[in-house]
Amino acid sequence: MDFDEAALQQLKLDFPQVTTIKVDLSDWDATRTAMETILPVHHLVNNAGVFRAKGVMNSTDKDIDL
């Protein structure tokens, strides 16, 4: 899952057996729907990250969940 369409297309060319999906992982419904289209899942790379310019002691529960 990636937002870079060119990178996804290249990955698919390099590894035709790989299924790629573009989805916003913070949207639980969209993620569930996307996953249901490819079941069963044998291996999954869930690669997502968010940068917050706060110290951990200043982070809220919502920041950590994100």
Question: pLDDT higher for 66 or 48?
Answer: 66
pLDDT higher than threshold 80 for residue 58: yes
Residue 18 to residues 3, 9, 38, 40, 58, Cα–Cα distance (Å): 16, 11, 11, 13, 40
- pLDDT value, residue 3: 67
pTM, two decimals, is 0.54
- pLDDT value, residue 25: 79
Q: Which domain holds residue 9?
A: 5-65
| Residue pLDDT, tens place only, 2-55 | 468 888 889 899 999 888 888 887 888 998 999 898 888 888 777 767 777 888
Q: How many domains does the chain have?
A: 1
